[in-house]
Copies of this chain bind each other. A is one copy, B any other.
Amino acid sequence: MKPSLYIATALMLASTSGFAQRPPAISSPDVHADNTVTFKYYSRTAQKVSLSGEFLSGNHAMTKDTSGIWSITVGPVKPDIYPYAFVVDSVPVADPNNTYIFANERFKRSIVDIPGNTPLVHALQKVPHGKVSYRLYPSKTLGTTRQLLVYTPPGFNPAGKTKYPVLYLIHGGSDTEETWTKVGRANFIADNLIAQKKAVPMIIVMPYGNVRPAPMPDFTKEVMQDIIPFIEANYPVLADPQHRAVAGFSVGGGQTLNIGLTNTSKFAYVSSYAPYTQTEEFQKNFGATYAPNAEQVNKQLKLFTISVGTDDFLYESVKQNIAMFTAKGIRLRSDIVPGGHTWMNCKQYLATTLQGIFK
């Protein structure tokens, strides 16, 4: 018998009860040296298969060969990491042959990494690497055990004399505690910027922010009463406001404003990325809590930034927010950049934040 992992795999998969025999092994996506990318999907029964990706506008039809493999080559694509999916007849599916999947509660999409010739800030580079730990912690606020991820930088020694600043980093509305590493590559971005001495060594805590029914005040309570105490009890951290930052994207950007601006005595750095703030809850909190305190907010925050892309569907809303803060006398830096409400933009926002905090 010919030695083959694929024989073993095919046998195993074929034997699994309740599942039809598996298709042949396919390599997808294949990223080529010229930044074109070939995507493949196997189906003998589909009438139409198309590719949908955040590097494309619209769906692009794929073509089928005689063995039932549908394929398409697109690009060259601008180097970055992008979500994509196939649409098989009318059914959206993640790429079965791609391990890398977008960590999310509402959809299943795959992600493709087009590295390009010059290493991007999120690339796995030959630098010292930190680690990402999955931790369980008791949430008294929510009465349950929850999971968060903790990035510790290269050379981190939990029992050493060095104490670290901490960034609390929150995902978007239907994302999970894994999205900032799996899609946002927060760990690689930190590794690279620390190696270049553009960022200081820090701990990055990535909690799970989808607290229902009230994601703003309830999550703020959980961060303040459960998450920060857990981190400060278990990691060598600098536990003063000058060494504590909060950042987040979309709904997490709204949560960031809620957490940071209702606790300016606890955070010196607040960075909100394309914040979603269109809830009565948020606006009520804003009016009651932040408005009277502009002078105090300005004094306590070393850096308050709001970032958004000009193609972001929240662009107008975020501009209104920025104007509102400014009108109330709150000092902030607005980072208006190209791009949409995407994780391509998130990586850039985070890279900017890491270079601006704890300095």
Chain A contacts to B: CB under 8 angstroms: 1-5, 7-9, 11-20, 22, 25, 43, 45-46, 52-54, 56-59, 83, 85, 88-94, 96-97, 99, 101, 103-108, 124, 126, 129, 131-136, 145, 157-160, 172-174, 176, 181, 187, 210, 212-216, 250-251, 254, 276, 278-282, 312-314, 340-342
Instruction: Report B-chain residues with C-beta under 8 Å of the C-beta of A210.
Output: 5
Interface centre among A8, A85, A107, A132 (most CB of B within 10 A): A8
Q: How far is the CA of A46 from the CA of B17 in the complex (A)?
A: 24
Kindly list chain B residues whose C-beta atoms are within 8 Å of the C-beta of A176: 99
**Does the CB pair A173–B280 fall under 8 Å?**
no
CA separation between A56 and B11, bound complex, in Å? 20
**Given that A90-B43, A94-B94, A131-B135 are contacting pairs, would A54 and B16 also be in contact in the complex, using a CB cutoff of 8 Å?**
yes
Known: A173-B12, A340-B15. A5 touches B251 (CB 8 A): yes
Chain A at the B interface: SS class:
loop
Instruction: List 28 A–B pairs whose Cβ atoms lie within 8 Å, in order of A's numbering.
Output: A1-B279, A2-B280, A5-B210, A5-B212, A5-B215, A7-B279, A8-B254, A8-B278, A8-B279, A9-B174, A9-B251, A12-B251, A12-B313, A13-B107, A15-B341, A16-B342, A17-B56, A18-B58, A19-B52, A91-B91, A91-B93, A94-B108, A96-B106, A99-B176, A101-B108, A129-B135, A157-B159, A158-B158
Within 8 Å by CB of A12, from B17, B93, B134, B276, lies B276
Minimal Cβ-Cβ distance residue in B for A137:
B129
Quickly give the copy total for this chain: 2
Task: Please report the C-alpha to C-alpha distance between residue A93 and residue B85 in the assembled complex, in whole angstroms.
Answer: 12
With A7-B278, A101-B108 as given contacts, are A131 and B133 in contact (CB-CB < 8 Å)? yes
Q: Given contacts A12-B313, A93-B93, list 9 more A-B pairs with CB under 8 A.
A: A5-B213, A7-B278, A17-B57, A17-B342, A19-B85, A46-B90, A131-B136, A134-B134, A159-B159
Among A5, A16, A159, the most chain B Cβ lie within 10 Å of the Cβ of: A5
Q: How distant is the Cα of A59 from the Cα of B17 in the complex, in angstroms?
A: 10
Q: Is the CB of B276 within 8 A of A106?
A: no
